[in-house]
Amino acid sequence: MGLASSSPNSTNSFCKILAFNLSDTLASTGKLGEEKSLPGIAAGPVPCIAVPAAGFTQRATIDPELNEIHVLSGMSKDKEKRNESVRNSFWVYDIHSNKWVCVYKNENIGQQYWNKMCNVEPCPRFAHQLVYDDSQKVHYLFGGNPGTSSPKLRLDDFWSLKLSRPSKDYVLRRCKYFIRKQRFFELTTRDPIAGMQYLQNDLSDTVAHDNVEERVEFQRLSRMLFEAPKTEESMQCEEEELSPPSNLYVGRTQLFDKLVSFFPDHMTQPKGSLVDFVTF
């Protein structure tokens, strides 16, 4: 199987996936978002909002054990604005179910932002190299070009990526933890004794005490019971994850944002700002 892309000098951008059956030497093509059955692939429409953007120099790898294709974005063309852009996005295609899932996307394109993130994640690029170690389930990324703003620049950085697939039990436990942590914050402001009992029983049950990070965080929460009351200004200077929110509304809003992060975008509220939809 493979993805069809276009040439940088072409005015057309393709959005196709091709499959070649070695047993009967037949080739089949299907357009992303089109209801068509490819060999060994379930037929059915793919929502247009849930497919990689058309463009060129996308890099794809395949995992024969998981029956998945992974696609790292390259340079894409905006049909409405007719300009080229390079943004980070990583997609996973399930061959059997004929479904795409965007597991990561970063829409930032500002040079100042990526200068700060240079040691956190690779900057957007095209014409890069991407290989996959299917035994260790690790992707390796090397080089590329950061975009039209620096057409002659060639990157020489090297990155590795390992996808994390949390189980349903893990997601359920973490959701319970976030909810009970907020409940603990609210209890301690009114009744520290009740908060301590809640911490020892209800909140403790949602912590994996064999996990170092979770255990340390739980211990830091317990120390809050014996600390002097903090002002709103001092709370803002501490880590958001372990400091009680300044008020009930802020705390429950932060809790909601954490919970919806476990759900796909189409099941949550829009992440963008309404101001972005206003044309001046």
- Give residue-wise pLDDT tens across range 195-204: 999 999 999 9
**Domain end (from 109, 132, 164):** 164
Most confident of the following: 125-129, 208-212, 228-232, 249-253 = 208-212
- 90 and 222 in a common domain: no
- 144 and 110 in a common domain: yes
- 145 and 70 in a common domain: yes
Residue 35 inside a domain? The answer is no
Helices (H) and strands (E) in the chain, counts: 6, 13
- 188 and 58 in a common domain: no
Sheet holding 88-94, edge to edge: 59-63, 68-72, 88-94, 99-106
Higher pLDDT, 124 or 138: 138
First to last CA, the chain: 44
- What are the pLDDT digits (tens) for 151-184? 778 889 999 999 888 899 999 999 999 999 999 9
Pairing of strands 16-21, 2-4: antiparallel
Mean pLDDT of all residues in the chain? 78
Higher pLDDT, 205 or 272: 205
Residue 153 inside a domain? The answer is yes
- What are the pLDDT digits (tens) for 67-126? 999 998 877 765 555 556 777 889 999 988 888 888 888 877 777 888 888 888 898 888
Residue 188 inside a domain? The answer is yes
Ranges assigned E (strand) in 113-247: 129-133, 138-144, 155-161
- What are the pLDDT digits (tens) for 192-230? 899 999 999 999 999 999 999 999 999 999 888 887 555
Compute the radius of gyration of the chain from its Cα atoms: 24
Q: Please give the residue range of the domain that contains residue 60.
A: 16-25+52-164
Specify the DSSP class assigned to residue 245: -
Q: Where does residue 113 rank: exposed (0-12), middle (13-18), buried (19+ CB within 10 A)?
A: exposed
Quick one: pLDDT at residue 230? 54
Encoded tokens for 43: 């037929």
- 206 and 72 in a common domain: no
Dihedral sign computed on CA atoms, order 142, 16, 165, 220: positive
Listed residue (139, 129, 124, 128) closest to 68, CA to CA: 139
Assign 239 a pLDDT band (cuts: 50, 70, 90): very low
Encoded tokens for 138: 């690790």
Query: Facing residues of 93 across strands?
Result: 69, 100
**Domain end (from 149, 164, 179):** 164
- 139 and 202 in a common domain: no
Q: How far apart are CA 208 and CA 200, in angstroms?
A: 14
Residue 30 inside a domain? The answer is no
Judged against a pLDDT cut of 50, whether residue 234 lies above it is answered with no
- 144 and 99 in a common domain: yes
Quick one: pLDDT at residue 67? 92
Residue 43 inside a domain? The answer is no
Assign 38 a pLDDT band (cuts: 50, 70, 90): very low
Residue 58 inside a domain? The answer is yes
How many domains in the chain? Answer: 2
- 259 and 176 in a common domain: yes
**Domain end (from 133, 164, 195):** 164
- 126 and 89 in a common domain: yes
- 135 and 157 in a common domain: yes
Average pLDDT over residues 3-23: 63
